[in-house]
Structure formats: C-alpha cells, structure tokens
C-alpha cells in the first residue's frame, strides 16, 4: 500500500501462511504474502516495517527445500520466524538444526524462560500449537533462548539488539492461546507499527490509485451482483464518477430471477445506472459438450472478456476493466506462494485470456471477503448487498456437475431458490457463509405415487467461514433438512433424491468444481 506501513510475509509453503496474513491485518497492519524467492532488491523497494517468515513442510537441509537470500535478514528490518522460519534464521546465522528424536505435533506448553519484547505481558506458561519434525540444537551467536517446551529445549530465540526473533510454534492459530498477543508484540513493540490499516484508509489510498492510473479514460466494471463487484463499482465510481460504465451480463448461469432483482438494486439504491446485456445463449453455446470444470472456467472467463471488449468498443475511450477479484481467488488460482499449487482457476484470474485489450483494475486483489464487507460498510452500501453469500463468477455452471444445459440449469435454479428461501425463513442466512445446491450427473430410481421415477440427485451445501480459505459444514437441524428435501422433491420436476454435503475445507473446497 502506498505510504502505508506493511508487514512482508515470506512464504515457505505452510498451510497457515494465509492465517498469518489475517492475524496481522486483524491488528490493523497491512500485510502481504511473497514467495521465498523474493529478491533482496524487491524487499528494499517494498520498505516493509517488518518481515515474518512462515512455516513450511520441509527440512531446511532437504535438497530443493525453499531458502531465502540471507542478506534479507541483515537489512536491519525486524524479523519474526515461525517454525520453518525460525529454522531458516538459525541456519543462516550459524546455528544448528537437526531432526528431532520426538516429533512435536499438536498442543504443548510454552515456558517463557527469559524476558523478551515479543513475550511482554504473555503468560509465562501457556498452550501453543506445534507442528514440526526438526528442532534447534545450537543457538546462533548473538541470540538467546527465551522459551522452551518439553520436546523443544530451544522453542523461542531472540536477538533483541537486531530485532530478530523466532518461535518453533505457530502463534497464528487459535490453539496458541497467547498467539495474537505475541504477533501484536512483534507488530507494535518491535516493528513500532501505528496500525493504520483501516477501511477508511484503504478507500482513500485506492481512490487516489485509481485516479492516477485511469486519468480521463473510461472504466468498464463487471457487475455480477455479488458483494465484491458491487463494492468495487461503488469505490471506482467515487474515484472517477461518470467515467465508470457499469455492465451486468446475464450469462444464463444466474440464480432464479437474479439479474432482474439486482438490476433494480444497482440503479435504485446505488445509483450505478448499469447496462444490462443478455448473453445467455452465447455462454450456453460455448459451454455445450464441456465437462471438465477447469475448461468451463476458462471458457466463461474468455466469453466474459469478449463481451466486455465488444461493449468497450462502443465507448471509444474505455481502456480499463474493473473487477472484484479477491486474495483467495488469486491464491487458489496460481502458485503465488512458496510451494503452493493451483487448486482451481477462478474465471477472473487464471481464466482470463492471455491477450486482452482492456487493462485490469482490481482494487480488492489483496483483500479477503470480510475486509471487502468492511470497505462496503464504510462506503454506506446497504446491508442487503454486504451480507449476500458469495456467488462464483462462473455461476451455476460450476454447480451443474458435468455438461451444462438449459434444462439442468432450470432444475437447479428452482431447487436452489427453495433451499435459500427456507434458510432465510428459518433466520439462518447470516449465520452461514455460503449455501447452495449442486445438481449431480447421477440419476437414481424413485417412487412418486405409484410411478417409478429415474431422476437427478441434488446435493445441498452450507458452510461457515471467515474468509473462504477454510470452512466447516453448517449443522442444520434434521427437521429443517427433512422439510427442505420434501419441498424440493415435491415441487421440482426432475429431482427425486436430496443429499447433504458434510465435508469441510480442507480437504474439500467449498464449491464442487
């Protein structure tokens, strides 16, 4: 962020790296993840207030294990190493890391043995979360041991003079009782952060950034009707006013009556004066016969851009496309982290064509969903927008498993409408992060009246989450599920069986495709 303090998080492939980012931002300090391959020059250019080294699944001595330019640790910037990050510090400053005789996983007790800035006001004996197979057997020169555990005699180290610290446990996870306090100590006592990461400051920064980038050109904004694109449109409009051209494309992959409903809200409550384009036949034609979910996403991404670029030609000076892309979209779509792999391509990230005539404006590319909602509230966007469940860019195309047809979409739309309607009637909507139905490419035998049926199976999915990076399935009352199942089977022709998905993320993703 321009002119704002920033914590640089260097990733070595830990499953908790995004959680470190969240903990720092929750403390009102901006943080951003970079791969371990980041160069010394890049770090100097970023001018971070501090650096956090993440954990990782490998040993620091393994062939091909992720490393860091040791000179980064000598810049005089405060450093906190977590697990693998601690071992990197130890190795690069001349200490010794060895395979542990007893591996340490799960909860253990941290015993603080010496005073340290990162342990100020931290309980001397507290529960922390461990996940490591190596341990420190020799402390680097200039460092002292400030914490121990039963299986890690060197559980935390500190070089108070150089402001370099390391902990073997994971303070970012909720199981580490004093973890947030330790992270906050690093941010405020060590890095001397002021805590200027607020929705108001974010808005001010990005209004300035958009104005500088766009100038007098026009910007086309892709309005899906979801929280992200809606908040993005309002933010960009604040920056450039009437030079924003808001467009909603009806892909034919929307929920029941959605395009019509959100169109009224755009114009009547948000003053966006959007352009409505019905491209449903075009999208369905391009998706005909396609089964692979990655191919679906790429086709939808390409078709979106084709439609937007055609519309842009009608506005000769439109050079930019604004999108509501989020940080989880970026993380899941491409290996931006140390040892990460692509989980799935989001249509607005990896699904975009390599050559585009429009330049992208993505104000939320480094934000999580709840952060976007906070920005939306600061912009006075009505709660009916802010609290909407996430809806995937590819729409129902990734909720019709297998080939997408109008018949299947119509069946799914009706079933999904009943499911969401019942959730709202039961006053459960705001307790759930995301809820939806999935039409499976499976037909089963059923009996309706005296007739045999052979119709589709519908899966229901509802999860709780904070940012979509992890999620747990929602515990509905059995009577609620029974009622929903009966209504769907009785009212939606084409479905004779309903199942409920009780998978968490990980190992499953929230969407099925």
User: What pLDDT, in 10s, does the model give residues 139-153?
Assistant: 999 999 999 988 888
Q: Is 83 a catalytic residue?
A: yes
Nearest to 84 by CA among 61, 106, 58: 58
Q: What's phi and psi for 308, nearest 5 deg?
A: -65, -40
Q: Is 172 a catalytic residue?
A: yes
On the question of pLDDT at 348 being above 60, the answer is: no
User: What pLDDT, in 10s, does the model give residues 67-88?
Assistant: 999 999 999 999 999 999 999 9
Q: Pick the catalytic residue from 172, 332, 422, 513.
A: 172
CB 333 within 8 A of CB 344: yes
- Separation between Cα atoms, residue 440 and residue 438, nearest integer Å: 6
On the question of pLDDT at 478 being above 80, the answer is: yes
Q: What is the mean pLDDT of residues 110-126?
A: 95
Return the ∠ at Cα 161 (arms to 155 and 164), rounded to 5°: 40
Nearest to 283 by CA among 108, 406, 429: 406
Q: What's phi and psi for 297, nearest 5 deg?
A: -60, -40
Instruction: Give the pLDDT band (50/70/90) at residue 446.
Output: confident
Return the ∠ at Cα 113 (arms to 110 and 115), rounded to 5°: 110
List the single range of 308-322, 408-422, 483-497 with lowest mean pLDDT: 308-322
User: What pLDDT, in 10s, does the model give residues 172-184?
Assistant: 988 899 999 999 9
The pair of structure tokens assigned to 28 is 């009102």
pLDDT at residue 352, as a whole number = 46
The pair of structure tokens assigned to 32 is 């951003």
On the question of pLDDT at 504 being above 90, the answer is: yes
pLDDT at residue 267, as a whole number = 85
- Separation between Cα atoms, residue 100 and residue 312, nearest integer Å: 61
The pair of structure tokens assigned to 2 is 């321009």
pLDDT at residue 310, as a whole number = 85
pLDDT at residue 449, as a whole number = 64
pLDDT at residue 334, as a whole number = 44
Longest dimension (CA), the chain: 83
Q: Is 191 a catalytic residue?
A: no
pLDDT at residue 340, as a whole number = 42
Nearest to 135 by CA among 150, 158, 151, 119: 151
DSSP SS3 for 158:
strand
**E strand spans, 139-243:** 144-148, 156-159, 164-167, 218-222
Q: What is the mean pLDDT of residues 461-472?
A: 88
For the beta carbon of residue 511, count every other beta carbon within 10 angstroms: 17
For the beta carbon of residue 61, count every other beta carbon within 10 angstroms: 12
Instruction: Give the pLDDT band (50/70/90) at residue 474.
Output: very high
**Beta strand 79-82 pairing with 30-35:** unpaired
Instruction: Classify residue 464 by burial, with Cβ atoms within 10 Å: 0-12, 13-18, 19+.
Output: middle
Q: Half-sphere exposure of residue 126, counting CA atoms within 13 Å on the CB side?
A: 21
pLDDT at residue 387, as a whole number = 87
Q: Pick the catalytic residue from 36, 83, 178, 258.
A: 83
427 contact partners, CB below 8 Å, separation of at least 6 = none
User: What pLDDT, in 10s, does the model give residues 482-503?
Assistant: 999 999 999 999 999 999 999 9
On the question of pLDDT at 128 being above 90, the answer is: yes
User: What pLDDT, in 10s, does the model give residues 83-101?
Assistant: 999 999 999 999 988 876 6
Instruction: Give the pLDDT band (50/70/90) at residue 333.
Output: low
pLDDT at residue 2, as a whole number = 55
CB 320 within 8 A of CB 361: yes
Q: Pick the catalytic residue from 36, 132, 170, 248.
A: 170
Q: Assign residue 122 a region: left if phi > 0, alpha if psi is -120 to 50, beta otherwise?
A: beta
The mean of the pLDDT values for the chain is 88
List the single range of 19-28, 232-241, 313-322, 398-407 with lowest mean pLDDT: 313-322
CB 304 within 8 A of CB 221: no
């Amino acid at each position: 962020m321009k002119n704002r303090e920033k914590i640089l998080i260097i990733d070595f492939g830990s499953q908790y790296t995004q959680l470190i980012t969240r903990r720092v931002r929750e403390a009102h300090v901006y943080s951003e993840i970079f791969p371990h391959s980041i160069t010394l020059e890049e770090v100097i250019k970023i001018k971070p207030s501090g650096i956090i080294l993440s954990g990782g699944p490998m040993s620091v001595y393994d062939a091909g294990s992720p490393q860091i330019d040791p000179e980064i640790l000598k810049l005089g910037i405060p450093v906190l190493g977590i697990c693998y990050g601690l071992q990197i510090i130890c190795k690069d400053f001349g200490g010794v890391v060895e395979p542990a005789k007893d591996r340490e996983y799960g909860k253990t007790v941290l015993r603080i043995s010496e005073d340290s800035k990162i342990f100020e006001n931290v309980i001397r004996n507290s529960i922390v979360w461990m996940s490591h197979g190596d341990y420190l057997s020799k402390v680097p020169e200039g460092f002292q041991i400030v914490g121990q555990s039963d299986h890690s005699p060197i559980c935390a180290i500190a070089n108070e003079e150089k402001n370099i610290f390391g902990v073997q446990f994971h303070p970012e996870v909720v199981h580490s009782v004093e973890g947030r306090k330790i992270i906050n100590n690093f941010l405020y006592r060590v890095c001397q952060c002021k805590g200027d990461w607020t929705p108001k400051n974010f808005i001010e920064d990005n209004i300035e950034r958009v104005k500088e980038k766009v100038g007098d050109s026009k910007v086309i904004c892709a309005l899906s009707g979801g929280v992200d694109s809606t908040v993005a449109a309002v933010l960009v409009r604040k920056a450039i006013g009437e030079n924003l051209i808001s467009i909603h494309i009806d892909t034919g992959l929307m929920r029941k009556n959605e395009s019509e409903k959100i169109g009224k809200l755009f114009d009547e409550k948000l003053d966006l004066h959007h352009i409505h384009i019905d491209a449903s036949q075009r999208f369905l034609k391009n998706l005909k016969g396609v089964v692979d979910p990655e191919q679906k996403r790429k086709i939808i991404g390409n078709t979106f851009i084709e439609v937007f670029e055609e519309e842009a030609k009608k506005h000769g000076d439109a050079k930019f496309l604004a999108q509501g892309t989020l940080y989880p979209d970026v993380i899941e779509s491409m290996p931006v982290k140390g040892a990460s792999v692509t989980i799935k391509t989001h249509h607005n990230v990896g699904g975009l064509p390599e050559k585009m005539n429009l330049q992208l404006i993505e104000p939320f590319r480094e934000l999580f969903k709840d952060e976007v909602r906070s920005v939306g509230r600061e912009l006075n966007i009505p709660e009916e927008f802010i609290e909407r469940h996430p809806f995937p860019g590819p729409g129902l195309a990734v909720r019709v498993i297998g080939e997408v047809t109008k018949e299947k979409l119509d069946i799914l739309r009706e079933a999904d409408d009943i499911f969401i309607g019942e959730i709202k009637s039961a006053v459960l909507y705001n307790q759930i992060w995301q809820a939806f139905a999935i039409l499976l490419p499976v037909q089963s035998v059923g009996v309706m009246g005296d007739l045999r049926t052979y119709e589709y199976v519908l899966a229901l999915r509802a999860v709780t989450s904070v940012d979509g990076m992890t999620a747990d399935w929602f515990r509905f009352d059995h009577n609620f599920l029974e009622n929903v199942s009966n209504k769907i089977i009785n009212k939606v022709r084409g479905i004779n069986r309903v199942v409920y998905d009780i998978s968490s993320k990980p190992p499953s993703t929230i969407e099925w495709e």
